[in-house]
Chain A
């Protein structure tokens, strides 16, 4: 199990980042896919944006974007009135027979 998978298993979503290019390197890698410099690892924001979704047997799955750079396919646990661009939270991630990403619609702050 590599670093990414180990962290994911502990519900930490980490990604490689190039300090020189100041960008996340996704999918995770040892070297930057722009300059081939060495990467550092950091936790990625759990805030996400809904880009698209569909549904299988009542279970909703979506494409969500994080930090404007990483797009993931994951489950939505509390789907209702889904709208594109809606704010989501990466509620949980995991690793068993592969990656798992689970998103939740963020409750809007009361005005």
Chain B
């Protein structure tokens, strides 16, 4: 199996402004061609598109607009972890030798069909994501004594981190008090505990170890991959105080890269709701069971940016198909040492956690220089 690395990346600003899917994607592909040395359209073997939108033949439409005639091109859809699923597919084409260079692009619009889930019969009339997040929150509060203050620290920390992220869909931060006072959507989920749908796109260029140095002197390797779907139905989560798919996916990713959780210097975790960051920290074994909330509070108080330095989904916005790619770009820049004001010191090993549909599926990537 050949090593696969990240050579380059591109992002649009996340906004509430409407534009077409192709226009979003091409806007995050452009910086890759503008900024990557020696890269021409002829180098690209694979073009994969990640979105929840129903656009047909999108990978070929985007290829045509980019002047690329790829060997392999198609869309990847898996709700909110479409982005990392897409990266895993591209990785496989390259590591197997079917391709050398892959362009992965993801985008979403605020009116995405991925926001409305109608197939999960077990959810009854409670199909909106706030219901599963509220039930996860109840279970975590019951098991570990998690409080509304604990949840508010997640959101306040991630909004504060996003002030240094020029691509965030917010132009200002929300304080701890503002999160505490924000409107209750359920008894334990407030408006500012939620990530917001937005328009945005993220693209990333992957290449094999044989060719990657043509494009960059500073590649970042995808060393570990874990991906697990336990079901499509929310109620198949056995223990509602944890995310089983995340435990499986991270265990596989750590064993593939030969790392343990204590090696992780920086991580982007899927904070679709405040409770998800606390649960993810525990399920990724970055802290012990029930220790997630204390760890978040400590990061807030010490201005530690180890988790979600770009602001996570809550601080940046959540354009579903772009999210996993945007998370991976942040970890790529952290390991490269090019994250600017967001840079975490000595970030050598980075972890990406991207999940979908009430944690029924999770992807974990481990990146190293």
**Binding partners A and B:** yes
**A residues whose Cβ falls under 8 Å from a Cβ of B:** 4, 26-28, 51-56, 61, 63, 70-75, 84, 98-101
Residue in B120, B121, B125, B142 whose CB lies within 8 Å of A75: B125
User: Would A100 and B125 count as touching, CB distance under 8 A?
Assistant: yes
User: Would B142 and A84 count as touching, CB distance under 8 A?
Assistant: yes
- Within B89-118, which residues are at the interface with A (CB < 8 Å)? 118
Chain A residues within an 8 Å CB radius of B135: 52-54, 61, 63, 73
Taken together as a complex, chains A and B put the C-alpha atoms of A73 and B236 apart, in Å, by 11
Taken together as a complex, chains A and B put the C-alpha atoms of A20 and B238 apart, in Å, by 25
User: Would A71 and B235 count as touching, CB distance under 8 A?
Assistant: yes
Taken together as a complex, chains A and B put the C-alpha atoms of A56 and B240 apart, in Å, by 18
Residue in B127, B131, B185, B236 whose CB lies within 8 Å of A98: B127
User: Would B134 and A56 count as touching, CB distance under 8 A?
Assistant: yes
Whole-angstrom distance between the Cβ of B276 and the nearest chain A Cβ: 15
Question: What 20 additional pairs, Cβ within 8 angstroms, besides A71-B235, A73-B235, A84-B142?
Answer: A4-B121, A27-B122, A28-B121, A52-B139, A52-B142, A52-B240, A53-B135, A54-B131, A54-B137, A54-B138, A55-B186, A56-B130, A56-B187, A61-B131, A71-B122, A72-B122, A73-B123, A74-B124, A99-B123, A101-B125
- A99 with B121, Cβ < 8 A, contacts A54-B187, A54-B188, A56-B185 known: yes
Interface string of B179-194 (1 = CB under 8 A from A): 0000001111000000
Q: Closest residue to A27 on the B side, CB-wise?
A: B121
B126 located at the interface, meaning its Cβ lies under 8 Å from any Cβ of chain A in the complex: yes
User: Would A72 and B124 count as touching, CB distance under 8 A?
Assistant: yes
User: Would B121 and A51 count as touching, CB distance under 8 A?
Assistant: no
B215 located at the interface, meaning its Cβ lies under 8 Å from any Cβ of chain A in the complex: no
Chain B residues within an 8 Å CB radius of A28: 121
Taken together as a complex, chains A and B put the C-alpha atoms of A54 and B134 apart, in Å, by 6
18 CB-based A-B contacts, threshold 8 Å: A4-B121, A27-B122, A51-B240, A52-B142, A54-B131, A55-B186, A56-B186, A63-B135, A63-B235, A63-B240, A71-B236, A73-B124, A73-B126, A73-B131, A74-B124, A98-B127, A100-B124, A101-B125
- Within B19-76, which residues are at the interface with A (CB < 8 Å)? none
Interface string of B234-254 (1 = CB under 8 A from A): 111000100000000000000
Taken together as a complex, chains A and B put the C-alpha atoms of A75 and B126 apart, in Å, by 9
Taken together as a complex, chains A and B put the C-alpha atoms of A26 and B138 apart, in Å, by 25
User: Would B185 and A99 count as touching, CB distance under 8 A?
Assistant: no
Chain A residues within an 8 Å CB radius of B123: 73, 99
Taken together as a complex, chains A and B put the C-alpha atoms of A51 and B240 apart, in Å, by 9
Chain B residues within an 8 Å CB radius of A101: 124-125
User: Would A61 and B126 count as touching, CB distance under 8 A?
Assistant: yes
Whole-angstrom distance between the Cβ of B280 and the nearest chain A Cβ: 19
B233 located at the interface, meaning its Cβ lies under 8 Å from any Cβ of chain A in the complex: yes
Chain B residues within an 8 Å CB radius of A99: 121, 123-125
Taken together as a complex, chains A and B put the C-alpha atoms of A74 and B130 apart, in Å, by 14
Q: Closest residue to A62 on the B side, CB-wise?
A: B135
Chain A residues within an 8 Å CB radius of B130: 56
Chain B residues within an 8 Å CB radius of A51: 240
Residue in A26, A54, A63 whose CB lies within 8 Å of B186: A54
Q: Closest residue to B128 on the A side, CB-wise?
A: A56
Taken together as a complex, chains A and B put the C-alpha atoms of A74 and B131 apart, in Å, by 11
Whole-angstrom distance between the Cβ of B132 and the nearest chain A Cβ: 8
Whole-angstrom distance between the Cβ of B114 and the nearest chain A Cβ: 17
Whole-angstrom distance between the Cβ of B129 and the nearest chain A Cβ: 12
Whole-angstrom distance between the Cβ of A60 and the nearest chain B Cβ: 9
Chain A residues within an 8 Å CB radius of B124: 72-75, 98-101
Whole-angstrom distance between the Cβ of A105 and the nearest chain B Cβ: 17
